[in-house]
Structure 1
Amino acid sequence: MWQWLLATSLLVPVSFDTQTIIVGPQPGEGQSPYLSFCQQRFYEEEDGRLLCNWAVNFNYACFVSYPSNKVIQAGAKLSEPEVVGECDDGEPVIKLLHY
């Protein structure tokens, strides 16, 4: 008798409540935009790339006196470069909102 019950229970489909776990950005959600700063004299658009001495804030942009290896793709640009101030030596610093 138990064998028949066991065999029957194996044939009956069992449904489980499944949950999808997504690691990383959720579908439909994009990256958060970044704000980068650099000295205006280093800003250059070349072959779809934005080159400059990119820094995370205004002060660092004044201290880094040479172009960095960081490259921003031109398609990631959300705004045009905007002058936001000057370093102590009078060099204009621009900001750029991008992905």
Structure 2
Amino acid sequence: MRWLLALGLILPTGVFALSDTDSEARQAGGGASPYLSFCQQRFYEEEDGRLLCNWAVNFNFACFVSYPSNKVIQAGSKITDAEVVGECDNGEPIIKIMHY
């Protein structure tokens, strides 16, 4: 019976301590998580601080989108340079970048 009482007193304190820590971590980091974007290498172009391509959320979609999209990624948000990660069935190279 005493262990239930002790657990009842300790558990709520631990929950509040965790929520304060999470809140502080979010405020300290203050930013969004990075994204991975994929596209066909032939469409990749840097123009006026913008990255243009047929951006897709994964490798497979990048193979099926055969024209440049309206999605624009700001060049300043790029974390990694474009890197070839494979080829579609038709031999088209697919690149990826990590960005905010």
Which TM-score applies when normalising by structure 1?
A: 0.73
Residue ranges of structure 1 left out of the alignment (5+ in a row): 1-21
Match of 1:84 in 2: 85
Q: Superposition RMSD on alpha carbons, in Å? A: 1.3
Give the structure with the higher percent helix.
2
Report the Cα distance in structure 2 between the residues aligned to 1:64 and 1:43, rounded to whole angstroms: 13
AA in 1 matched with 2:83: E
Report the Cα distance in structure 2 between the residues aligned to 1:87 and 1:76, rounded to whole angstroms: 27
AA in 1 matched with 2:84: V
| Larger gyration radius, structure 1 or structure 2 | 1
State the identity %. Answer: 80
Offset at 1:27? 4.8
Which TM-score applies when normalising by structure 2?
A: 0.72
Report the Cα distance in structure 2 between the residues aligned to 1:70 and 1:78, rounded to whole angstroms: 17
Match of 1:48 in 2: 49
Report the Cα distance in structure 1 between the residues aligned to 2:44 and 2:30, rounded to whole angstroms: 30
Report how many residues are paired.
76
Which structure 2 residues correspond to residues 12-31 of structure 1 after superposition, within 5 A?
26-31=27-32
Residue ranges of structure 2 left out of the alignment (5+ in a row): 1-22
